[in-house]
Amino acid sequence: MDISTLLQSILIMAVIIGIGGLIGYRQPLTDDSRQLVITIIVNVAMPCIILDGIFQTPINNALWTQILATLALSIGLNCLGIWMGWLGARAMTVSVQKRREIAILSGLGNTGFIGLPLCAALFGPKGALLAAIFDAGVDVVLWTVGVMMLQGKGSFSLKGLKSLINIPMVAIIGGLGAALLGFVPPEPVKPVFGTLSKLATPMAMLYIGMLLPHFLKGKRFVSVKLLSVPITFKLLLFPLLSATLLSIFPMDSEISRVALIQVAMPTLTLASILFGRYAADEEMGAMTTLFSTLLAMLSIPVVVYMGSLL
């Protein structure tokens, strides 16, 4: 992987996040404007990245093998990340519920808003497709294992599974199904996917930047000690362990590169929303998302460089 290309991409993202922060400070996001931006990113830009990757990549048996391997690897690695976070939290004198929250924040990353556009920029359409599959694995773990942990139950409900049905997931299944049947969109349509896919990176970074003032304004203090555990595990320990495992076990190089980028992502943006929904510590979720996102601009290149040495 070209480190200079990665650094350039990270720098561009950091600048856009900074611009978004200034916009959010001068013009705070309302609930309506926030929902509008999310709708454009999740329901337009991200599906277009996925479909552009599918229709620009020859679908053959080798790619199907990569897709299934990426999905299985994503589920396995994200469960490993949660388990690592749980072990780290056990060393602290906190409640069982707090340990569960720390575990989720330590293991699940922002593979959609940040990881998918970054992989598209680094690896092209095929990398974007594999990144989308990895993100689908994150969703599976989030709405099954994650929800069960927050609820303190040993089983999940159909209501949780319904959350897996979203526009990006439909784009993955529908696009792959169409490719399997040999359907190719007419030439005037394909550039539309490519053009709209370019919205993902700037809009996602602007949105994250605009959220920063919202996260900081009126939030109660969360101890540095409490925040340090999930951030350390999410940005350093979990990615470095994953990089070590990817280097030890034989794995397709394209899958390994995408997986390394995805596991290095900061804590998922949905953390505060998910915690609020299940009566968990919403403030801790928001603060972990905020600081891990800012620190990830530095940690991602370090993790990728360390991974290249293994």
What CATH number has the domain bearing residue 293?
1.20.1530.20
Classify residue 289: in a domain, yes or no: yes
Q: Residue 96 and residue 243: Cα distance in Å, rounded?
A: 29
Number of domains composing the chain: 1
* Residue 59 φ/ψ region, left for φ over 0, alpha for ψ in the -120 to 50 degree band, beta for the rest: beta
Give the pLDDT confidence score for residue 219 in this predicted structure: 58
Structural domain range at position 284: 3-300
Residue 310 lies in a domain: no
Alpha-carbon distance of 40 to 59, in angstroms, equals 28
pLDDT at 166: 81
- Inside any domain, residue 307: no
Q: Which residues of the chain have pLDDT under 50?
A: none
| 309 lies in some domain | no
User: The pTM is what?
Assistant: 0.88
Q: Is residue 306 part of a domain?
A: no
